[in-house]
Amino acid sequence: MTVAPVYKQGWTMDDVHWSLFDPSLVEPSLLAAVKAAALVEYNAPDYVAYLKRVFSDAGPETQASIEQWGREEARHGHALGRWAELADPKFNLEDAFTRFRKGYTPAHFDASEEGSIRGSRRGEMIARCVVEAGTSSYYSAIRDASEEPVLKEIAGRIAADEYRHYKLFYDTLNAQDEPDLSFWKKLWIALGRVRESDDDELAFSYYCANVSPEKETITPYKHKKYSRLAGQASMTVYHRHHVQKLVQMVIKVVGANPHGWLAELAGALLWRRLSAKSA
């Protein structure tokens, strides 16, 4: 088994070995998925503003950690977008992102009030850990699936960052002076965040990334259609061990044994769901 390189925090665009790009190894469905992922990652500044409101009185160290997280997330989008522009010269990250941002803005991004939509800071961090667990496993899967060397490197770098982000939010969760949540409340928040993956973010990002502005009139956005296409493009990279790792990270954050029966059951159910989506 090949051992993946371990990438340190703080990498830049100049650290990526762009000269190794091989267009003959670009896989079309993976390219479509990467374009969409680039838009989602590039949207980090809105998440930063929201999290800074949630943790407005948490102190400068927490605020700085949120800002650093946001910079790294935006860098992920930049790197993925640059790779997609190499693989498809007709794709333009900034243009596609402008369309995406115009059509997708969750209500809590524009809200001015402080506080988490999850009901507490602990709830917010559980939700963020779910997201980081998902992205860490997703980019690990892309790294393992891609034969194109530059995408493999970028995905490996991002996967390592996302795992560190998971740890950041997990530590932040446990550092809160709020009362702890019950297991069932934690599980409810985690499942709720998983269900949100079916909202417009992934479907609309796939649409904006893969349907040109010139074709919008004859190919209008339909959530169900592009949610299905996004699922088919992205879920095919997963193998069972990627899914199990994701589940273990989520199970840990809700306070259960990541190697126990609940993790095994949840892993089997999620693998079945993802397999159906990729069919």
Q: What percent of the chain has pLDDT over 70?
A: 94
Least Cα distance to 157 among 95, 77, 87 occurs for 77
pLDDT category, 277, cuts 50, 70, 90?
Answer: low
**Per-residue tokens: 150:** 């530059």
Per-residue pLDDT tens over the stretch 232-253: 888 889 889 999 999 999 999 9
Domain architecture of the chain: domains with CATH: 24-278 (1.10.620.20)
Q: Are 12 and 71 in contact (CB under 8 A)?
A: no
- Over residues 103-111, mean pLDDT: 73
pLDDT category, 112, cuts 50, 70, 90?
Answer: low
Per-residue pLDDT tens over the stretch 192-238: 998 887 778 999 999 999 999 999 999 999 999 999 999 888 888 98
Least Cα distance to 34 among 130, 127, 199, 150 occurs for 150
pLDDT the model gives residue 98: 95
The three-state secondary structure class of 147 is coil
pLDDT the model gives residue 197: 74
